């Protein structure tokens, strides 16, 4: 998986998960090899989570189940375009956010967490190929009443999938540096108010 120019690891740095072993690309193009994805640490771990959940293929149905005003239109290229609105949550969601990154972002926008201001619903567009596989999803939302004019306006977040159903076999990088096993710990809990 290559997250693109704005990935948390750096521009276009990739991750690979092969037979339980994890590989993380470094900024200089070299690869680190982890015996298990549990050792990649908190920065790269969410990317592996996203990869697992995307492969499971449940995201499209879950997004469609949240939508109101759902429309479906056949396109000349054989794809189907779904559009609709995912309404805001009027109450506390009362449950842990999804493990899927796309659903987590939708949940945050609906609840107004991790994305300041009022979003007035999330408009989505989902393109599905003739093979039933999701090709692209876009989420568009307004940020209003954020307290900062620099944060206000219309934002669109898009994920595009390619080579679906025809991905070549995934092979490990030709060379990689083995990493020692690591145990990640959240650190010592605060005994007084944290941060001061």
pLDDT tens-digit profile of 171-195? 888 888 888 665 556 666 666 666 5
Q: Are residues 49 and 90 in the same domain?
A: no
Q: Are residues 139 and 87 in the same domain?
A: yes
Which comes out higher in pLDDT, residue 179 or 147?
A: 179
Given 28, 56, 84, which residue is the final one in a domain? Answer: 56
Q: Are residues 42 and 90 in the same domain?
A: no
Q: Are residues 38 and 64 in the same domain?
A: no
CA–CA separation, 196 and 188 (whole Å): 15
pLDDT, position 78 = 95
User: Is residue 52 included in any domain, yes or no?
Assistant: yes
Q: Are residues 52 and 63 in the same domain?
A: no
Q: Are residues 5 and 83 in the same domain?
A: no
pLDDT, position 70 = 93
Query: What residue numbers bound the domain in which 19 lies?
Result: 1-56
User: In sequence order, what DSSP letters do the residues of 99-135 get, joined into one string?
Assistant: SSHHHHHHHHHHHT-SS-SB---EEEEEEE-TTS-EE
pLDDT, position 43 = 72
Per the structure, the count of domains in the chain is: 2
User: Is residue 187 included in any domain, yes or no?
Assistant: no
Residue 92, Cβ density class (10 Å: 0-12 exposed, 13-18 middle, ≥19 buried): exposed
Q: Are residues 81 and 115 in the same domain?
A: yes
Q: Are residues 29 and 71 in the same domain?
A: no
pLDDT, position 14 = 79
Q: Are residues 6 and 21 in the same domain?
A: yes
Q: Are residues 94 and 153 in the same domain?
A: yes
User: Is residue 190 included in any domain, yes or no?
Assistant: no
Using only C-alpha atoms, the chain has a radius of gyration, in whole angstroms, of 20
pLDDT-derived band at 100 (thresholds 50, 70, 90) equals: low
| 87 within 8 A of 110, measured Cβ to Cβ | yes
> Is the full-model pTM beyond 0.85?
no
């Amino acid at each position: 998986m290559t997250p693109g120019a704005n990935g948390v690891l750096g521009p276009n740095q990739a991750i690979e998960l092969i037979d339980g072993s994890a590989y993380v690309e470094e900024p200089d193009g070299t690869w680190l090899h982890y015996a298990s994805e549990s050792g990649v640490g908190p920065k790269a771990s969410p990317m592996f989570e996203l990869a697992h959940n995307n492969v499971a293929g449940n995201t499209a149905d879950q997004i469609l189940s949240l939508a109101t005003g759902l429309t479906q239109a056949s396109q000349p290229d054989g794809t189907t375009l779904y559009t609709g609105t995912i309404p805001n949550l009027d109450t506390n969601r009362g449950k842990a956010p999804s493990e899927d990154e796309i659903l987590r972002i939708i949940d945050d926008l609906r609840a107004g967490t991790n994305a300041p201001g009022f979003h007035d619903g999330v408009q989505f567009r989902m393109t599905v190929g003739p093979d039933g596989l999701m090709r692209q999803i876009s989420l568009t939302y307004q940020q209003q009443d954020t307290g900062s004019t620099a944060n206000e306006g219309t934002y669109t977040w898009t994920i595009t999938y390619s080579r679906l159903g025809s991905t070549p076999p995934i092979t490990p990088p030709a060379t990689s540096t083995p990493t020692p096993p690591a145990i990640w710990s959240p650190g010592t809990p605060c005994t007084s108010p944290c941060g001061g």
